[in-house]
Chains A and B, each alone.
Chain A
């Protein structure tokens, strides 16, 4: 079981990083999503794996519980990562619609900001 989880984390990380290194916005967004999964599962797994032991207290008998802390951290991380994805999607979309170009890199000819040229 541990080997399955670990290899899944590894594969998702590798694929995520490969996609992040692409040069268009959409693959980068996909890569970030994959890395998000990988990181969330990674954090979750730091609590060690357990089957049939949810951290919901049983009033009637003594049962084992899994580690609740990583779960709480990952829960908020999932929601926050939605916010992050949404912001990046909007930035990518706005950039594409404004310039009709979805490259993530600035090319020499479109250095429009030219910081300080007009200062």
Chain B
């Protein structure tokens, strides 16, 4: 490159970030009125524009301004921004025209439209566009690219009450979004070829990229993204449907921004992708077809905005074709035309909006003669349209001349006259529809009646297009002085800093082929216009594919296919999912076993003693009995309790006291939970699988059981293949964590982050249970619960005196045990998890003995709060480490000696464990509390703590009471 003097400047971040930051304000300020919202949007854009303009000196010198920030370096995703000529031009168009659009929209939108939303969407879109053109990292660029698709969806569907608006928005999102996906793939391939995702690096590696075998796939995928975005054939159909948006949106998206993003990217990638045959034939041909097709269709559209939409398609095709030629001169022409098209097309869209606004219609057939009624609009519209037609001395003429000039030198598969011929035809139609815009709208006799009374709009509405039209004229007359340096700088950025070709931006080049072609196009355009009626008859008689119908048919077919796949795979038969999962697991387990090797046994097995053997018999017996008797649900619940107890004892026996304590307390809580739920479920499981099915299930279970048993046996009989990290924990537990119970130190210190996550998960589980209860009890289930008959006759004494007294006496003792277990946890078996469970059990005893209602009346704290405080305390303890410049959750400890007490230890880990304790307590209690609410009945509240009512289940007595009442 000519000037690789990288000037680093942080303000680039600001230019890209300002629209996003400013997007908040219109939505908030709309309460203060529409002017406030519009001013906030305008000011934001203005600031960003100023931020851009201060870089004029360096950009005009040819410097590249950069701002670098490593975001996720591991992925090669850096928030790098760069501003060179090309980025500058586009940013200028986006922000400059954006400012005009903001002004225009303030007067265009009606009182019913939510203007705050409009400006918020507009700024989001603007930010995404600026992000695209300033990105120096293609991954970052892709993010902004997708953001434009999403935010343009919001803008196009802004009038959400119109079905066309919603359909148009969906179509635009589907087309540009799927193109964006293709582009992601292409960009990743490109980044892979070069080994960097930074544009500035990629742009240096032309030879590497073009010689790579992956050049073609990358090129096609990237072009798919560009063509969909820039509405190139055959993806052009979304653009006209996007015209259902409010006119300011159309003017913005389709003149300066959204559709230009594809052109921008082709220009950006031009130095490395262009110049090959593939590039020429794909890009130039697509552009040529699009240019011709768009121009022809535009001539026969009666809706003003549809006419402009297809003309936009045509002009985008023109620029694409020029970029596709791959010559330097064509690149310069493309850049120049982008500038010109943005100016006259934005003005034309705004003019169309004014006409719609003031006359109440956009139908050309109902318009005409407006030059008398709307002279200002007439002037603006006519100049812009003539520039679009390519008449001197306007700017459209200059770039069209350059285009025609270049086509003359282009051969397509040895055909010398094909490209210039078709380009001339397109220019001819282009002139024709431009003339039609003027002639059928403004000229002609004044009509008897219009849908409204047309008159020129207030200045706010015509100021923006007028400014653009002044530019159109000035660029046309003094092109070299006004945009000459800009075109030079931008073009040199596009062609990769090589020497610029000879070109001159002036009106008179002498009698060149391009001039003759221009004359033919103009005269032919006038002739076509005079024959418009006849042409329209022919056009209407021609069979044409309706793009929208085809698109919807494709979408429908895709929806049907995906729905069929979903329905077949996800048919709600959960037992099928389970069997697939288990069979697959068994299968890969077998595969690993069959293909792997196994070492020799290195450990001597422990001698089994008689007590463990008895435990084993109980456990295996209970497990088999569960399988056998599982239809009797209460019995199987008792049996599973047996299994749980043996497992707890086994943990204790095998040197895991912490696990034993945890398991046994969890066991208690789980059993209460299951018993409570069984209260509402059927007590028996009926037979409903066939014998064959049961045998199949039994076979697969046995295989899985043998597999897991054999695996753990093989594991236990061998030493570790690699040294474990457990030695580190044992060695550092006391020195680093200040505790002798290594298991607890691991939980609250070494792996505190895991524990932190786990208490959050537990809290979420409890909240799900609470929410589920709320939702279910809000339906007619409550009525069912209130009227249901219990499975078993209820005891007359539901709160037995002995139990009530015993549990109340035990309550303080149980709490004391909890506290003891908690405090000794760091050095002896215990800790927050176990203490939380024990205290929860202490509360649950009161629930069971004295009744839910009695307990809930005496409750002084909310379980939600307990969960929340637990997580917060744990987090705050972890954050505390930051203030001491240590990593998150680093614990600290020390020793205190307060006579006459013994020396004792303090550790921040105890605070963390407090958080664990509170979260576990809250979660367990909230879960069981929710379940208990299912059993709630009115009139259960007892004035007396003990409710001995021997009459309860005697229906005859109840009937008597009713009769008496």
Say if A and B assemble together. Answer: yes
Contact B705 A11, beta carbon cutoff 8 Å: yes
Bound Cα distance from A101 to B142, whole angstroms = 50
Q: Mark A1-34, 1 if CB is under 8 A from B, else 0.
A: 1111111111111111111111111110110011
Known A-B contacts A41-B647, A41-B650, A79-B762; the reply to A18 vs B716 at CB < 8 A is no
Supposing A89-B673, A102-B681 touch, asked if A21 and B578 sit within 8 A by C-beta, the answer is yes
Question: Within the complex, which residue of A4, A33, A44, A93 is in contact with B681, where a contact is CB–CB below 8 Å?
Answer: A93
**From residue A77, how far is it (CB to closest CB) to chain B in Å?**
9
Q: Is the CB of A111 within 8 A of B673?
A: no
Instruction: Judge whether A51 and B630 touch: CB under 8 Å.
Output: no
> Taking the nearest CB of chain A, how far is it from the CB of B579, in angstroms?
6
Please state if B670 and A115 are interface contacts (CB–CB under 8 Å).
no
Task: Please report the C-alpha to C-alpha distance between residue A45 and residue B540 in the assembled complex, in whole angstroms.
Answer: 81
Q: Are A23 and B682 in contact (CB under 8 A)?
A: no
Known A-B contacts A26-B681, A47-B726, A86-B673; the reply to A76 vs B716 at CB < 8 A is no
Say whether B781 contacts A97, CB under 8 Å. yes
Known contacts A1-B606, A26-B633, A90-B931; A68 and B680 CB within 8 A of each other? no
- Known contacts A4-B613, A89-B677: A57-B624 contact under CB 8 Å: no
CB distance from B954 to the nearest CB of A (A): 28
Q: Mark A66-95, 1 if CB is under 8 A from B, else 0.
A: 111101101110111111111101111110
Contact present for B654 and A51 (CB under 8 Å): yes
The interface residues of chain B lying within 8 Å CB-to-CB of A19 are 626-627, 630
Interface: B561 (CB within 8 A): no
Judge whether B758 is part of the interface by a CB distance below 8 angstroms.
Answer: yes
Question: Does residue A61 face the partner (Cβ distance < 8 Å to B)?
Answer: no
Establish whether residues A17 and B582, one from each chain, have CB atoms under 8 Å apart when the complex forms: yes
**Chain B residues positioned under 8 Å from A50 (CB to CB):** 654-655
Chain A residue with the shortest CB-CB distance to B571: A106
A11–B643 CA distance with the chains assembled, in angstroms = 11
| Interface flag for B691 (CB, 8 Å) | no
Contact B656 A79 (CB under 8 A): no
Tell me if A9 and B630 are in contact (CB < 8 A).
no
CB distance from B20 to the nearest CB of A (A): 32
A97 touches B776 (CB 8 A): yes
| Interface SS of chain B | helix
> Judging by beta carbons under 8 Å apart, are B677 and A93 in contact?
yes
Is B678 a contact partner of A26 (Cβ separation < 8 A)?
Answer: yes
CB <8 Å contact, A6 and B662: no
Contacts of B828 in A (CB 8 A): 56
Contact of A82 among B620, B705, B733, B924 (CB under 8 A): B924
Centre residue among B572, B712, B772 by max chain A CB count within 10 A: B712
Given contacts A53-B655, A55-B742, A94-B776, contact A23 B575 (CB under 8 A): yes
CB neighbours of B733 from chain A (8 A): 57, 68
A105 sits at the interface (CB 8 A): yes
Q: Tell me if B923 is interfacial: C-beta within 8 Å of chain A.
A: yes
Considering only CB atoms and an 8 Å cut-off, how many residues of chain B contact the other chain?
120
Q: Are B772 and A94 in contact (CB under 8 A)?
A: yes
Contact: A69 with B681, CB < 8 Å? Answer: no
Interface centre among A45, A78, A79 (most CB of B within 10 A): A79
Set A3, A18, A79, A91: member contacting B701, Cβ < 8 A: A18
Q: Is B654's CB under 8 angstroms from A49's CB?
A: yes
Please tell me if the beta carbons of A4 and B743 are within 8 angstroms of each other in the complex. no
CB pair A59 B740 closer than 8 Å: yes
Q: Which of A3, A26, A41, A55 has the most CB of B within 10 A?
A: A55
Cα–Cα distance between A57 and B736 once the two chains are bound (Å): 13
- CB contact under 8 A between A2 and B717, given known A8-B616, A66-B655, A69-B746: yes
Binds A, one of B94-102, B124-132, B438-446, B763-771: B763-771
B11 within 8 A of A: no
Q: B257 on the interface (CB 8 Å rule)?
A: no
| Shortest distance from the beta carbon of B869 to any chain A beta carbon, whole Å | 18
| Bound CA span A74–B773, Å | 29
**A1's closest neighbor in chain B, by CB?**
B606
Closest B residue to A99 by beta carbon equals B781
Say if the beta carbon of B704 comes within 8 Å of chain A.
Answer: yes
1/0 per residue B669-711: CB within 8 Å of A? 1100110011011100110110000000110111011101110
Encode B607-636 as 1/0 by CB contact (under 8 A) with A. 110001100100110011011001001001
State whether the Cβ of B751 lies closer than 8 Å to any Cβ in chain A. yes
Tell whether B3 is near chain A: CB-to-CB under 8 Å. no
Contacting residues, chain A, for B829 (C-beta < 8 A): 54, 56
**Measured between alpha carbons, how far is A19 from B624 in the docked complex, in Å?**
11
What's the least CB distance linking A15 to chain B, in Å?
5
Interface residues of B in 763-820 (CB under 8 A from A): 765-766, 768-769, 772-773, 775-776, 779, 781, 784-785
Q: Which residues of B contact A41 (CB under 8 A)?
A: 647, 650
Chain A residues positioned under 8 Å from B623 (CB to CB): 8, 11-12, 15, 34
Q: Which residues of B contact A53 (CB under 8 A)?
A: 655
**Chain B residue at minimal CB-CB distance from A98:** B781
Residue from B716, B740, B930 having most chain A Cβ neighbours under 10 A: B716
B751 A83 Cβ-Cβ under 8 A: no
- Using CB atoms, name the residue of chain A closest to B773: A90
Shortest C-beta distance, B763 to chain A (Å), equals: 9
Q: A11-B624, A34-B623, A79-B920 are in contact. Are A44 and B708 (CB under 8 A)?
A: no
Q: Which residues does chain A contribute within 8 Å of B769, judged by CB atoms?
A: 86-87, 90
CB proximity of A46 to chain B, nearest CB, Å = 6
Kindly list chain B residues whose C-beta atoms are within 8 Å of the C-beta of A14. 701-702, 704-706
> Quick check: is B754 within 8 A (CB to CB) of the other chain?
yes
Q: Does B934 contact A (CB under 8 A)?
A: yes
Residues on A with beta carbons closer than 8 Å to the beta carbon of B775: 94
* Nearest CB of chain B from residue A13's CB, rounded to whole Å: 4
Is B537 at the interface (CB under 8 A from chain A)?
no
Max chain B CB contacts within 10 Å: which of A97, A98, A102, A106?
A97
Complex Cα spacing A49 to B651, Å: 10
Q: Which residue of B lies closest to A24 (CB)?
A: B685
**B-chain residues with CB within 8 Å of residue A89 when the two chains form the complex:** 673-674, 677, 931
Are A30's CB and B673's CB within 8 A?
A: no
Contact yes or no, B697 A18, CB < 8 A: yes
List chain A residues, Cβ under 8 A from B559: 116
CA distance A16 to B708 in the complex (A): 12
In the complex, chain B residues whose CB is within 8 Å of the CB of A23 = 575, 688-689
Residues of A within 8 A of B846 (CB): none
In the complex, A74 Cα to B833 Cα: how many Å? Answer: 12
What is the chain B residue whose CB lies nearest that of A77? B758
The answer to whether B705 and A57 touch across the interface, beta carbons within 8 angstroms, is no
B730 at the interface (CB under 8 A from A): yes
Whether B730 lies near A4 (C-beta < 8 A) is no
- B residues near A59, Cβ cutoff 8 Å: 740
Instruction: Please give the distance in Å from A25's CB to the nearest CB on chain B.
Output: 7
Of the candidates A12, A18, A82, A96, the one whose C-beta lies within 8 Å of that of B643 is A12
Known contacts A78-B666, A83-B927; 11 further A-B pairs (Cβ under 8 A): A8-B623, A12-B623, A15-B627, A21-B575, A23-B575, A27-B636, A30-B630, A30-B640, A41-B650, A74-B656, A92-B681
25 CB < 8 A contacts A-B: A6-B713, A13-B709, A17-B705, A18-B698, A21-B697, A30-B626, A41-B647, A48-B716, A48-B719, A49-B654, A51-B653, A54-B657, A56-B740, A57-B734, A68-B730, A79-B662, A79-B666, A79-B762, A82-B670, A82-B924, A84-B765, A87-B765, A89-B931, A94-B773, A115-B566
Residues of A within 8 A of B (CB): 1-27, 29-30, 33-34, 37-38, 40-42, 44-59, 65-69, 71-72, 74-76, 78-87, 89-94, 96-98, 102, 104-106, 111, 115-116
Binding site for A on B (CB under 8 A): 559, 563, 566, 571-576, 578-579, 582, 603, 605-608, 612-613, 616, 619-620, 623-624, 626-627, 630, 633, 636-637, 640, 643-644, 647, 650-651, 653-659, 662-663, 666, 669-670, 673-674, 677-678, 680-682, 685-686, 688-689, 697-698, 700-702, 704-706, 708-710, 712-713, 715-717, 719, 724-726, 729-730, 733-734, 740-743, 746-747, 751, 754-755, 758, 761-762, 765-766, 768-769, 772-773, 775-776, 779, 781, 784-785, 827-829, 833, 837, 920, 923-924, 927-928, 930-931, 934
Q: What 4 A-B pairs have minimum CB-CB distances, sorted nearest first?
A: A10-B709, A14-B705, A106-B572, A6-B713
